Amino acid sequence: MAWTKTSEGISGREVLVGKEESITAPSSATTEYSSEIDFISVNNKEAASYVTFGIIASAVTGTNLDIGLYGAMTSGGTKFLLLDAVVTDVTNAAKVQFKSINLNAYPAPYYYLGWTSDGDESANTISAYVIA
């Protein structure tokens, strides 16, 4: 897994940068994580620093996928939950979910997306997006 650039601003200026990562959904009711999101950070000079997170699932076999925003104090370190439901739960009827949050409200040196399912989703894939 690795985050890859998906978009760039007008005329080569990076006004809006998007990154994507494709992930195999979990095989059991455990939490799995994206690669480290080291390309976003809190902006203490501004009152708000909005980042958009998105999830597109190929399918959802069980009830839903719960997607959370996690942080860590060190690169690859122990993860802690910052925001449960960073996007609305992903279901088979609602496989596409995007939501903007004020990252300043959830400070951490390193970020990850984490997802939990209520069953075996390993036949399905998740495309995760971060747009800053």
Residue 7 pLDDT more than 60? Answer: no
Tokens representing 73 are 């104090």
Give the mean pLDDT of the chain: 86
Determine the CATH number of domain 18-131. Answer: 2.60.120
**67-111, pLDDT tens digit by residue?**
999 999 999 999 999 999 999 999 999 999 999 999 999 999 999
Q: Would the pTM of this model clear 0.85, i.e. be above it?
A: yes
Out of 35-39, 56-60, 79-83, 117-121, least confident range: 117-121
Residue 44, exposed/middle/buried by CB under 10 A (0-12, 13-18, 19+)?
Answer: exposed
* C-alpha–C-alpha distance, residues 40 and 3, integer Å: 12
Residue 13 pLDDT more than 70? Answer: no
CA end-to-end span of the chain: 20
Give the model's pLDDT for residue 27. 79
